[in-house]
């Protein structure tokens, strides 16, 4: 008679778990998915990665002409083009990560229907693709800092730049995971998300400082956006600014809430992706 200890029983987990051990076992897939998406993204493009540089520069030019000069927005001691670029640097990474992560499960439907691997790898690898674009644009940003001869505090940027980037990553992962799971079932999100991000750009402190709002309640509403804390901290080493700690706390807490909610919903629904994708 066969020993019962040799029988392998496969059953769903009885409690919520991120299953990080299994994700680590499949860590090579992060490289393969990321490298594949990078090659597809720039395949048969005449300018290639130059588009990564041109997009923020053109947006900086447009915002400088129509907002910086027309509305005379004060961003001292940081020149307005650098003020906008510092915000767009993180915002473009955040928005592109959410869009690509939101569509990632549908784009990879043939794969998830054939083989098993931790599904969270797919939206996470989408963030890594956007991170490469961020790294390229960041080089241009540093060059602009040198060109404008901005007085930076080295210790501040070593602390606040990684912190701002970390908050952006956490927020993008949480919202991207949530949308990737929702888009599998509700395809309308493919069209709603880009439009929503366009609106969200103007309620984020990208092209204007939050001090121009003039009303405390507006500041609290804007702070619900995860990008408020990320952009504010990123600019801290450049503008020698003081923090509105309650607003930073609100933005940071909302970022963590998005992360928990996104990962929880993703893990609870991923078993059905192969059936309905």
Q: Summarize pLDDT for 179-236 with one digit per residue, the tens.
A: 999 998 888 888 889 889 988 888 888 888 777 666 667 777 788 888 999 999 998 8
Average pLDDT over residues 119-130: 90
Vertex 138: Cα angle to 56 and 262 (nearest 5): 80
Q: pLDDT averaged over the chain?
A: 84
Query: Which are the contacts of 172, defined by CB distance < 8 A and separation ≥ 6?
Result: 93, 94, 97, 98, 101, 127, 130
C-alpha to C-alpha distance for 239 and 79, rounded to whole angstroms: 10
Token digits for 126?
Answer: 């989408």
> Mean pLDDT throughout 126-141?
89
Taking the whole predicted model, whether its pTM rises above 0.75 is answered as yes
Does the pLDDT value for residue 4 go beyond 60? no
Residue percentage of the chain with pLDDT more than 70: 86
Q: What is the pLDDT of residues 61-115, one digit of tens each?
A: 888 887 767 667 777 778 888 999 999 999 999 999 999 999 988 888 888 888 8
- Is 1 a residue whose pLDDT tops 50? no
**Would you place residue 9 in the very low, low, confident or very high pLDDT band (cuts 50, 70, 90)?**
low
pLDDT of residue 246: 86
Query: Looking at the predicted structure, is the pLDDT value of residue 8 above 60?
Result: no
CA dist 258 and 250 (Å) reads 12
pLDDT at 36: 86
């Amino acid at each position: 008679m066969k020993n019962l200890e040799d029988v392998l029983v496969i059953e769903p987990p009885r409690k919520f778990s991120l299953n990080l051990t299994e994700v680590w076992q499949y860590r090579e897939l992060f490289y393969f998915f990321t490298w594949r998406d990078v090659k597809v993204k720039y395949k048969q493009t005449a300018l290639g990665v130059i588009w990564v540089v041109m997009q923020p520069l053109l947006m900086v030019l447009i915002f400088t002409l129509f907002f910086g000069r027309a509305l005379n927005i004060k961003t001292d001691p940081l020149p307005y083009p650098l003020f906008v670029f510092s915000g767009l640097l993180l915002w473009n990474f955040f928005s592109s990560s959410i869009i690509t992560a939101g569509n990632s499960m549908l784009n990879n439907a043939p794969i998830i229907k054939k083989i098993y691997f931790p599904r969270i790898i797919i939206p996470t690898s989408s963030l890594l693709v956007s991170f490469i674009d961020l790294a390229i644009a960041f080089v241009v940003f540093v060059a602009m800092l040198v060109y404008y001869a901005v007085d930076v505090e080295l210790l501040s940027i070593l602390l606040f730049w990684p912190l701002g980037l970390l908050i952006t990553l956490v927020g993008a992962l949480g919202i991207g995971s949530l949308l990737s799971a929702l888009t599998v079932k509700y395809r309308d999100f493919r069209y709603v998300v880009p439009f929503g991000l366009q609106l969200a750009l103007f309620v984020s402190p990208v092209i204007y400082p939050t001090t121009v709002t003039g009303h405390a309640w507006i500041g609290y509403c804007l702070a619900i956006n995860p990008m408020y804390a990320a952009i504010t901290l990123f600019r801290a080493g450049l503008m020698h600014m003081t923090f509105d700690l309650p607003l930073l706390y609100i933005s940071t807490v909302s970022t963590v809430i998005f992360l928990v909610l996104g990962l929880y919903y993703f893990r609870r629904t991923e078993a059905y992706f192969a059936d309905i994708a």
